[in-house]
Amino acid sequence: MKAERFILAAALIAGASYVFADRFDTTTSLMLLWKGAGVALLALWCAVMARETDGWLIAAVMAAGAAGDVLREAAGLSAGAAAFFVGHLVAIWLYLRNWRPVRSGSQKAVAIGLAIATPVIAWLLTRSIDVTFYASALGTMAAAAWASRFPRHRGGIGAVLFVASDLLIFARMGPLAGSAWTGFLIWPLYFAGQALIATGVVNTLRKGRPMTELQGL
């Protein structure tokens, strides 16, 4: 197995297995390592695969996500959100660099809906200006991913899963506070989203297909 395949496999195993972490009696440091490992290894895989600026940008997006995963547990929600916010800004830059020149009306509608609905729902759930400000970047990131040249069945859907995961976190700050079932969904949605985003972007960059081919994806 080539090194990059091993790294990707390790990332998927680490990220997928973390959903069972709370069933084990582990130390805080081990839990932090376990939580950060999945997306950190995705970042490493993206870096190994990088051959151009866009490749390094998606690696930076994943690195910011890994930092957010760890900081959220080690330093609190605000510190983690700050790292994710930086990652969203880098992702928006990446997607704008890879804008899809031709989009259907439905594709435009989905992108606009993500950009607007995400902060609106965040506000309704939390009534927090800080959360809504963060959600504006989150929604813009998802909208840009949907409108980019990267395949929507990976990058676009992945960004939507990321939004869904964060909205559940916001819901736990408000109407779903104390709800146990949300905890079973937040991590799987988040990690699946990150994995789809990383593989969708990297595989498209690796194939180096021209823009005209990507318009039909």
Model confidence pLDDT, tens digit, residues 92-131? 999 999 998 877 888 899 999 999 999 999 999 999 999 9
171, 112, 59, 169 alpha-carbon torsion, rounded to 10°: 0
**pLDDT at residue 22, rounded to an integer:** 67
Lowest mean pLDDT among 24-28, 53-57, 78-82: 24-28
Token pair of 87 as six digits:
């990652």
Amino acid (1-letter code) at residue 10: A
* SS3 state at 208: coil
Of 149, 147, 166, the closest CA to residue 85 belongs to 166
1, 44, 195, 153 alpha-carbon torsion, rounded to 10°: -90
Q: Is the pTM of this model over 0.85?
A: yes
